[in-house]
Amino acid sequence: MSSFSPNSSNFGWQLEDILINELRSDELFAHYSPNDQDTSKTSITASNSMKRSIHNEYERDRRKKLNSLYSTLRNLLPETDESKKLSIPCTIARVLKYIPELQKNIKRMAGKKEEILLSMSKRQNFVIEPTISAKCLNKKEVIMQICIKNRSEMIPLSNIVKILEGEGLELMNASTIANYADGIFYSLHLQAKDIIWMDGESYCVHLINVLKEASKS
């Protein structure tokens, strides 16, 4: 009777394979556990929560800036009781209506400005005659007062004296007041070289006309 005896060498190899597989299974379970799975889920949840928080904060900031811009836009509109209570769509509609009105007003004001500048230019070109008065103190002495209001048309005192010298008068004394009503004021004390035979009033009128004619040239 023959007896069954397993090959000790083959048996040893089979046992070794079984032990190696068992060890690999233990290592697999050791690296993958329910705790690791929970940690991964927690990490994903935290990441999603952070993303939502960042998005919400961005939206709040964006809406705050938009509200600030619309508030500034409302303040640019004409002041009315309704303008401060307008909703955003109504504000935009009011702005779109107001811009053409504003452009029209600007054009009208620009035209008015041109009219004013043209009028001022005409006034500046208009020569204002000096105000002149004269009085004969006696047959030889004359007092003259000259007020020139337009400084651009100012006549130098030396020119006035030269004109009066041509009429036979000599300057005895003179005073000048500058910036008189944005002009200049002369007061002259004159003496005739010869006796004045003309009527005093007529002679003074003659001197005034001479100076006015000279101021125009």
pLDDT at 7: 46
As a whole number, mean pLDDT of residues 90-96 equals 85
Using CA atoms, how far apart are residues 43 and 91, in angstroms rounded to an integer? 46
Task: Select the more confidently predicted residue: 39 or 139.
Answer: 139
Is the four-CA dihedral 155, 161, 162, 167 of positive or negative sign? positive
pLDDT at 121: 62
Supply the pTM of this predicted model: 0.41
Question: Domain 131-216 class?
Answer: alpha beta
Is the four-CA dihedral 201, 205, 206, 211 of positive or negative sign? positive
Q: Structural domain boundaries of the chain?
A: 83-123, 131-216
Cβ atoms within 10 A of the Cβ of 188, count? 21
- The secondary element (H helix, E strand) that includes residue 193 is none
CA–chain centroid gap for 101, Å, is 21
pLDDT at 118 over 80: no
* Amino acid letter for position 36: D
